[in-house]
């Protein structure tokens, strides 16, 4: 894909994306220069859980749903569609996702992402973003700190959700 030069006009949007918090406009432009835009249709799967992909996305327009399979792969059948919606995000959230792919040798999606309406995404390929971050260590340290902050926030939420589920499960077992 060819980088989209029209993205530079959306600098005010990118300034609100937590991935870029603490970066100057010029530093953000360096990252925008390697992005391309992908248009997604309503209902289209953007990322499939367990798929090997190396792409980070920023939601520019539209709404997506992030979900996870309820059954473990061992018990899951190809026809099983049991998924739990974890969160819905829109452009108002200035959301990014797919960041874990930057840290894994063979990236595997931890959840599925589906468009709830027509969406526009800014796309960053792993090799492209890592090259920019390695060439510009000051940008790299800020971006990696921002990703760590986001992953920590998500982990804390997941831990609270697990506690709620195990508590409910324990109470259900006691009632039998």
pLDDT tens digits along 15-57: 999 999 999 999 999 999 999 999 999 999 999 988 888 999 9
Q: Tokens 């200035």 map to which residue?
A: 94
DSSP state of 104: -
pLDDT tens digits along 89-131: 999 999 999 898 888 877 788 889 999 999 999 999 999 999 9
pLDDT tens digits along 120-165: 999 999 999 999 999 999 999 999 999 999 988 878 887 887 788 7
Burial class (CB in 10 A: 0-12, 13-18, 19+), 46: buried
CA 78/CA 166 separation, integer angstroms? 27
CA 121/CA 59 separation, integer angstroms? 5
For residue 56, what are the β-bridge partners?
124
Report yes or no: 103 and 51 within 8 Å, Cβ to Cβ: no
Task: Render 57-87 in DSSP notation, one character per residue.
Answer: EEEEESEEEEEEESS-TTT--TT---EEEEE
- Sign, Cα dihedral of 105, 131, 60, 154: positive
Residue 72: band (very low, low, confident or very high) from pLDDT cuts 50, 70, 90: low
Give residue 152's pLDDT.
87
pLDDT score of 78 more than 60: no
pLDDT score of 170 more than 70: yes
| Continuous segment of H or E residues that includes residue 141 | helix 137-174
pLDDT score of 81 more than 70: no
Q: Tell me which residue of 52, 53, 5 sits closest to 29, measured CA to CA.
A: 5
- Tokens encoding 161: 């959700």
Could you give phi then psi for residue 113, rounded to 5 degrees? -130, 125
Q: What contacts 173, CB < 8 A, 6 or more positions away?
A: none
| Domains along the chain with CATH numbers | 5-174 (2.60.120.10)
Q: What is the pTM of this model?
A: 0.82
């Amino acid at each position: 894909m060819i980088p989209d030069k029209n993205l530079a006009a959306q600098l005010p949007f990118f300034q609100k994306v937590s991935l870029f918090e603490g970066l100057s406009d010029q530093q953000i432009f360096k990252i925008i220069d390697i992005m391309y835009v992908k248009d997604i249709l309503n209902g289209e799967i953007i990322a499939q859980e367990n798929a090997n992909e190396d792409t980070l996305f920023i939601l520019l327009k539209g709404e997506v749903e992030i979900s996870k399979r309820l059954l473990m792969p061992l018990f899951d059948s190809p026809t099983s569609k049991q998924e739990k919606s974890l969160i819905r995000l829109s452009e108002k959230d200035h959301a990014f996702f797919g960041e874990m792919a930057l840290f894994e040798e063979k990236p595997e999606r931890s959840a599925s992402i589906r468009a709830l309406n027509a969406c526009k995404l800014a796309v960053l390929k792993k090799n492209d973003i890592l090259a920019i971050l390695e060439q510009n260590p000051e940008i790299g340290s800020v971006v990696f700190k921002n990703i760590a902050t986001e992953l920590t926030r998500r982990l804390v939420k997941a831990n609270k959700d697990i506690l709620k589920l195990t508590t409910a499960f324990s109470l259900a077992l006691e009632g039998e």
